[in-house]
Amino acid sequence: MISLLSRIFIKDRGNTSNPAVRRAYGVLCCSVGIFLNLVLFGVKFFAGTISGSIAIRADAFNNLSDAGSSIITLVGFKVGGTAPDTNHPFGHGRIEYVSGLCVSIAIIMMGLELGKTSVGKVLHPQSVEFSLLSVGILVLAILVKLYMFFYNSRVGKKLNSPGMTATAADSISDVVTTSVVLAATLFTRYTGVNVDGWCGVAVAVFILWSGVKAAKDTISPLLGQPPSQALVDDIESTVMAHPEILNIHDLIVHDYGPGRTIISLHGEVPGDGSIGIMELHDVIDRIESELNEKFNCVSIIHMDPISFDDKKVSAKRKKVAALAASIDERITIHDFRMVEGPTHTNLIFDMVVPQRFPMSDKAVSERMQALVRETWSSCQCVINVDKPYV
């Protein structure tokens, strides 16, 4: 259904990097979700009323909360797709993360309320009437939620939308919870043991777990999570495909919401004059344009001239890199320079130390200084300790 509707209502539907197409997909999927969840709420509430099942009624209100969540996600798409302005020069894309967080909070609140009601049914159980109509409604609800999971997952991945991904997770959790309710209904019918309240508790616990997981997934990009390794590798291979670039470091990916990314990095280029500065500048400009088009981003590349042809400097650099790796194989160096003087030689470089490293930055720097002095008594280090951002 979503594919058919997208063909009818979304122009240029394959160009999902276009903010207008993203917004159109979001509005379409959320509108369908609101309609389906309201229908499921109505039929489940009716089934729960005629059977007297708290578990079915709890599942019905879960669908009502899903409709509200879809409204929140819809607002997120509408606001997130608005153009940048004076107060928000990087756009409003992060509102999608906020809407995903609101959906997660709504799920958690519904889980708590359903848990409270279900515990009351455990303490004060009431008889449940078996109805083939109720069973049929539950089976239909499972099929509808499976469909919603598949289309939200597919479109969420296509758009890289945390809000739709959270909605997909909620849909599959609904499949599980409704299946539990259906199993409880059949179990009570054929065994005579009333497990309605206990199944309501199980449904509430699962809803809470889904809500907490979805919240963690949306809070992480709001706080500033690192990019995926696949994206990092793709950026590096794109830049290093240009022979003028000898190495890259200080790669940072700034995420301002889906489709709104700023990439910055340092590109090492020959500093011996073999390639003119204007030619190197042109290479950097072309790489930035290539990154912008490929990743739909804004890219900034700082050009670092490095002396790679000086055999003496090159040998020192390799040895210093080996000494850094002897402390920990994850430690690397860059921006290496050597300044010789009448009494000693300064080795100036940046050292990249992993986050949460067991040694302090000062201790790592002092350890590196000692290793260099043990190797060359006339050398001392000027070290800037960096942290990786990818």
pLDDT tens digits for range 334-352: 888 888 888 888 998 999 9
pLDDT digits (tens, 9 = 90+) for 19-75: 677 778 778 888 888 898 899 888 888 888 877 776 677 778 778 877 877 787 788
Q: What angle do CA 131, 135, 141 make, to 5 degrees?
A: 140
Rounded to 10°, the helix 132-159/19-51 angle is: 160
How does DSSP classify residue 13? T
Is the model's pLDDT at 160 over the cut of 90? Answer: no
Q: Which residues contact 256 (CB under 8 A, 6 or more apart)?
A: 90, 91, 93, 94, 262
Instruction: Enter the pTM of the model.
Output: 0.66
Is the model's pLDDT at 177 over the cut of 80? Answer: no
Two structure tokens written together for 232: 């990092």
Query: Average pLDDT, stretch 238-257?
Result: 90
Q: What angle do CA 249, 375, 319 make, to 5 degrees?
A: 30
Is the distance from CB of 55 to CB of 200 less than 8 angstroms? yes
* Alpha-carbon separation of residue 66 from 72, 90, 165, 288 (angstroms): 10, 30, 13, 42
Question: By C-alpha distance, which of 388, 382, 389 is closest to 368?
Answer: 382
Q: Containing H/E element for 348?
A: strand 345-352
Two structure tokens written together for 137: 């409604």
Neighbours of 256 (CB within 10 A): 18
* Alpha-carbon separation of residue 343 from 115, 320, 348 (angstroms): 75, 20, 16
Is the distance from CB of 152 to CB of 171 less than 8 angstroms? yes
